[in-house]
Amino acid sequence: MNSIIGLVNGLAQAAANGVNAVIDILNSLSFKVPDWVPELGGKTFGFDLPKVSAPQIPLLAGGAVITQPTLAMMGEYQGAGRNPEIVAPEDKLRGIFAESLGPLLELLTELLALLRDGGDQEIVIRFAASGGLEQLVRLLLPYIDREQTRVGAKLVTGGVY
């Protein structure tokens, strides 16, 4: 499919190049009216046509931000069956992320507030042994350790990690 899109894009570009060659020729033409012609004498006339660009069909496997109607090829990359593209309005994606990450962000906000307050309070984090949460805790612990050292808070974690 990429080959076909490449061919179509190439043909469109070749056509635009041909039109632009004609435009270049026309733009190079001009003539000067002899001085003795009333009202127009001494003036130069010619073309000043803008060049054209060829519309291209974009390949979106690398991602894109679409802000107007656009013809595009999606799912054109190898492995699209295992790693499909998602096409959705930005507000829908933001809603999905907010719904999914909201509770975690609330927890992290509370944790950071507690760590910032410092003092001699003890912070206890309990979690179930699940792969995703374990990975999250492994990622967060260096940051939590650094912050607790900075403010002198004590951090006790429970669970498997």
DSSP letter string, 68-124: S----B-S-STTTTTS------HHHHHHHHHHHHHHHHHHHHHHHHHHHH-TT-EEE
Q: pLDDT (tens digit, 9 = 90+) per residue, 42-90? A: 888 898 999 999 888 777 766 777 888 877 777 777 888 888 888 888 8
Place of tokens 């962000």: 105
**Structural contact between residues 54 and 15, judged by C-beta atoms closer than 8 angstroms:** yes
pTM above 0.75, yes or no: no
Top-confidence range, 47-51, 62-66, 117-121, 139-143? 47-51
**Structural contact between residues 160 and 134, judged by C-beta atoms closer than 8 angstroms:** yes
Per domain, the residue ranges of the chain are 2-46, 90-158
Q: Look at residue 98 and tell me whether its pLDDT is greater than 90.
A: no
